[in-house]
Structure 1
């Protein structure tokens, strides 16, 4: 697992940050809007958003004196590729197990 992917998964491991990602799936939001939706204080929300920003999960768009947070898709594409590789490993292992069991069964019948 790459360091970038590990950092992404760590950032998503917190329930508040995961909820923020869920909110941002619907569209960009300001810190205040995110805080209000989740019932968090703005400083706490900003700390969580900083972790998401450092992990590359969100990006900031400055608009006047507000900071609008947007969800980035790239980290989720990385997670998808990683999970697909795990799935393929499991399929390969199950296929080898099935082949082995069929061989064992055929050997017993002889």
Structure 2
């Protein structure tokens, strides 16, 4: 299982987010077909795909001479749940601070 920081690091790059979106929308692609639709070289796409693969967001499967990549959104969903839990914790803390401030204002 990928740590949330690995997923967030991989998604910090706008081109990686674009690649992941294309893979999720189209069901998969090769680095060559992705590069044809993006303003970067196939080698640059391959490097971005490697970063996404390390984060567990894509999986590569050999298809003849090429590798076909598909999105795996499981790590993204787990990271989203983690962020939701973190937000809920902060909301609880901020509510407690607000309550303390209001109690002090109206003794």
Q: Same fold (TM over 0.5)?
A: yes
Question: 1:42-53 to 2 correspondence within 5 Å?
Answer: 42-53=42-53
Task: Tell me the equivalent position of 2:16.
Answer: 17
Describe the SS at the equivalent of 1:68.
Answer: strand
Deviation of 1:4 (Å): 2.3
User: Which gives a bigger RCO, structure 1 or 2 (Cα 8 Å, sep 6+)?
Assistant: 2
CA distance in 2, matches of 1:29, 1:75: 19
State the Cα distance separating 1:69 from its structure 2 match.
0.7
CA distance in 2 between partners of 1:99 and 1:17 (Å): 42
| Residue 98 of structure 1: how far off its partner (Å) | 2.6
- SS, match of residue 39 in structure 1: coil
Q: What pairs with 1:89-100 in structure 2 (closer than 5 Å)?
A: 89-100=89-100
Look up the SS of the partner of 2:90 in the other structure.
helix
Unmatched 5+ residue regions in structure 2? none
Query: Structure 1 residue runs of 4+, over 2 Å off?
Result: none
Whole-angstrom CA distance in 1 between matches of 2:19 and 2:103: 51
What is residue 40 of structure 2 aligned with on the other side? 40
* 1:87 aligned partner: 87
Instruction: Determine the C-alpha separation between the residues in 1 that align with 2:18 and 2:53.
Output: 15
Runs of 5+ in structure 1 lacking a partner?
none
